[in-house]
Amino acid sequence: MKEKLLLVNPVILRELNGQFGLDDQTCQDFTRWTENFDQVVFACITLPEHILNKSDASTAGTNWQAIADLPCAHKVELIPLPWAYTMQNFVRTYAATRKLLKEKIEECKYLCFNIWGLIGGWGAIACLEAIKQGRPYAVWTDAVEYEVIHRTLSSLPWKRRIKEFLTLPLLKPYHQYLISKSELGLFQGQDCYLEFSPFSKHPYCVYNIHTQKSDQIDISSLNRKIDSLLSGSTLQICYAGRAAEMKGPLDWLRSLHHIHTLGINFQATWMGYGPLLSKMKSLAKDLGICDRVNLVGFVSDRHQLLQTIRESHIFLFCHKTPESPRCLVESLVSGCPIVGYSSAYPLGLVSEDGGGVFVPMNNWQQLAEQVVELNADRNRLSELTRCAALSGRHFDEETVFQRRSQLIKQYIK
């Protein structure tokens, strides 16, 4: 049997001028997977036309790329799965989708499934089918989904809030069961690893990133940044991510306002689109910091995004859920210290070489005070900058995908 890998993932598949397309980062994943496997069978969610026509916030600000245009397209097989996040659609499409997953599991030598929600979570259904067939499989997850839902429940639309409230008690034991039956657990970051490793036969803390060795800040750029810090230049603060509840964008603005009231000279940039962007703009106006804060929305040019981070002195974040956002890795790679709410994930990123400062979650006042202290002690901030660059050298796409592939080949036999 060829080294054929089956991946089941909740990323969105859509049609582009008669061709199937995915977001550019997932397309980049294909390049790395096909470097390590003969063929990749990728099952993902088809975006319905009625949702696409609404310009849903979950897909706005996405760089779409046609699969056929990829150099590795001949090694990739796409399997469209139905969008079934309502009970009616899930029940209606369950039997046919289970049958399709059964056939693909039988065809492939290696199995790796991303688990997400209860209703519409086809990765979990793939796990159930693999268990039935007696096939070993790997579980991959980058968030503690039931904790994410629990912490953001109050911000959801009322219909979805009711659905999540009713299904939430089932999600935790369901995920723990699927992980316990898997042969390999690939858990992104320390938050996921600490939560799920007790239930896994072979747990590993891994990372899913899209930075290259060439993205790492060079010595001359790092020295220029430190020289600007020590010369007393305006403090540059940034963030890159969706303007959504789990990212804490309103806390981010309140923290900046507190810094402003203490007389700190700074400029801050938020790069990212999301459902709370308009609310962020209103709050920035109400707080009187519009001249200090630039809410640029989605940045399509990845090089421009990384350059903004590279030129910033602090990457300020207010993440409120146990997830593993890639933006913190991108910040370290760019030689920008990460300063924000504490959790196992950011602590793990800088555990070896440093480059981060953290405060208790939801304490935006203390977060602001930490920024004020760092601004006052530019020598300390400069040292954090050097440490961030050192930490960033642990993360490049080629290395992390190679390690994940080796683990799959080692345990999924």
Query: DSSP for 145-204?
Result: HHHHHHHHGGGS-HHHHHHHHHHHHHHHHHHHHHHHH-SEEEEEHHHHHHHHGGG-SSEE
The dihedral of CA 57, 62, 67, 69: what is its sign? positive
What pLDDT is recorded for position 48? 74
- Domains of the chain by residue range: 4-209+397-411, 214-392
Q: Which CATH class is domain 4-209+397-411?
A: alpha beta
Tokens of 279: 């609310």
What pLDDT is recorded for position 152? 87
Average pLDDT over residues 368-376: 97
The dihedral of CA 91, 96, 101, 102: what is its sign? positive
Let me know: does 317 contact 237? Beta carbons within 8 Å: no
Using pLDDT thresholds of 50, 70 and 90, give the confidence band for residue 49. low
E strand or H helix at 332: helix 326-333
Rounded to the nearest integer, the mean pLDDT of the chain is: 93
More confident site: 58 or 78: 78
Using pLDDT thresholds of 50, 70 and 90, give the confidence band for residue 50. low
User: Which residues lie below 8 Å from residue 324, measured CB to CB, with a gap of 6+?
Assistant: 142, 143, 188, 189, 191, 192, 207, 208, 345
The dotted CATH code for 214-392 is 3.40.50.2000
Measured from the Cβ of residue 377, the count of other Cβ atoms closer than 10 Å reads: 12
Interaxial angle between packed helices 326-333 and 302-311, expressed in degrees from 0 to 180 and rounded to the nearest 10 = 60
Reduce the DSSP state of residue 46 to 3 states and report it. strand
What pLDDT is recorded for position 242? 93
The dihedral of CA 272, 273, 276, 278: what is its sign? positive
More confident site: 119 or 51: 119
What's the CA gap between 314 and 238, in Å, rounded? 7
User: Which residues lie below 8 Å from residue 37, measured CB to CB, with a gap of 6+?
Assistant: 3, 4, 5, 75, 110, 405
- Identity of residue 320: K
pLDDT at residue 1 greater than cutoff 60: no
pLDDT at residue 79 greater than cutoff 90: yes
What pLDDT is recorded for position 57? 43
pLDDT at residue 47 greater than cutoff 90: no
